[in-house]
Structure 1
Amino acid sequence: MEQRVTGWVGWVWFGAFALLSVGLFNLITGLIAVFDEDKLLAWSPGSGAYVVDISTWGWVHLFLGLLLTCTGFALFAAATWARVVAIIAVLASIVWNFFWLPVTPWWSLAIIVLGAFVLWALTVHGDEVERAVR
Structure 2
Amino acid sequence: MARKVTAWVGWIWFAGLIMLSSGVFNLLSGIYAVGARDIGIVEVGTQILLLDVNSWGWIHIAIGVLLIVVGICLLAGQGWARIGAVVVVGLNMMTQFLYLPLTPWWSIVVIALDMVVLWALVVHGEEAEQAS
Same fold flag (TM > 0.5) = yes
Residues 92 and 33 of structure 1, relative CA distance in 2, 3 Å threshold: closer
Query: How far 1:71 moved relative to its partner?
Result: 1.6
Counterpart secondary structure, 1:5: coil
Q: Hey, what does 1:49 align to over in structure 2?
A: 48
TM-score, normalised to structure 1, is: 0.70
Q: Hey, what does 1:13 align to over in structure 2?
A: 13
Counterpart secondary structure, 1:80: coil
Higher-Rg member (1/2): 1
- Which residue identity is paired with 2:80? W
Q: Aligned pair 1:126/2:116, yes or no? A: no
Following TM superposition, the consecutive aligned residue runs of length 4 or more in structure 1 with deviations greater than 6 angstroms are none
Could you report, residue by residue, the CA deviation over 1:66-121 in whole angstroms, capped at 9, with x for unpaired residues?
Answer: 1111121111122233212333426974xx5xx9xxx87xx76xx37x835x4443
Counterpart secondary structure, 2:49: strand
Q: Hey, what does 2:84 align to over in structure 1?
A: 85
Residues 52 and 120 of structure 1, relative CA distance in 2, 3 Å threshold: closer
CA distance in 2, matches of 1:51, 1:79: 42
Gap runs ≥5 in structure 2: none
Residues 122 and 41 of structure 1, relative CA distance in 2, 3 Å threshold: closer
Counterpart secondary structure, 2:51: strand
Q: Hey, what does 1:29 align to over in structure 2?
A: 29
Q: How many residues align?
A: 121
CA distance in 1, matches of 2:92, 2:61: 18
CA distance in 2, matches of 1:31, 1:50: 23
Q: Hey, what does 1:73 align to over in structure 2?
A: 72
Q: Aligned pair 1:59/2:62, yes or no? A: no
Counterpart secondary structure, 1:10: helix
Residues 91 and 27 of structure 1, relative CA distance in 2, 3 Å threshold: closer
